[in-house]
Amino acid sequence: MKKSFYKKWWFWLFSIMIIMSMGVIILSHYANESTIKTSKAPVDKKIYQQELKSQIDLLTTNYDNIVEQDWLPTWTKLNSNPDNINTVELLDKMNHIANQFNEISKNTEMFKAEEKMKDPALKQKISHFKTAFIAASNCMENAALSVTQGLNNEKPLKDSLENAAQSLGLADQNIVIALSTLAELEGILGITKK
């Protein structure tokens, strides 16, 4: 009597070898993929901490300092009593503020942080941060320039203040986007704030 096909020893040997080969292929692919992922993150983290973080911190600190030390006191003084203001002093202050935000915008644009990162997703995060941060700086510059137009009597002061308020709203939106993108980037890299 003939043995049935499934009872032959060579069939079982062949089946086991195929299953083992597939397992080895899948395992080697998974091990290779995880090695690539883990090797990129430490490199980008090191680059970020050593080359990029100090420059990004400088830009964001400058932005905050201008807002807190220059913009807010001037804006408060202007809005508290717009009929009794020293126009020349406020005009100089607003021009100075506009120039400072313009400088921040230029410095951010020249800062080629995304070129230093290796991971495309991290490059994109840095690029999104820069775009939103530049937009926030430009909106703050536009707000200051709008006020100067009102102080120069190019437009009614009330209209200039309304335009400046709209620019401030856009600046707030963009700075929130920029800082949240930066927080996401640092979260991906495993960097915690002190």
Rg (C-alpha) for the chain, rounded Å, is: 29
Residue at 35 is within a domain? no
Residue at 149 is within a domain? yes
- Please state, as a whole number, how many other Cβ atoms lie within 10 Å of the Cβ of residue 6: 8
Q: State how far the Cα of 40 lies from the Cα of 44, in Å rounded to an integer.
A: 6
Q: How many folded domains does the chain comprise?
A: 1
Residue at 28 is within a domain? no
Residue at 31 is within a domain? no
Residue at 23 is within a domain? no
pLDDT in tens, the chain (194 residues): 455 555 565 555 566 767 777 766 776 666 555 444 444 567 778 887 888 888 988 999 999 999 999 988 988 888 887 677 778 888 899 999 999 999 999 998 888 877 778 888 888 888 899 999 999 999 999 999 998 988 888 888 788 888 888 988 989 899 899 989 888 888 888 877 65
Residue at 62 is within a domain? yes
Q: State how far the Cα of 59 lies from the Cα of 102, in Å rounded to an integer.
A: 12
Helix (H, G, I), strand (E, B) or coil at 63: helix
| Single pTM value for the model | 0.75
Residue at 128 is within a domain? yes
Range of the domain at 184: 41-189
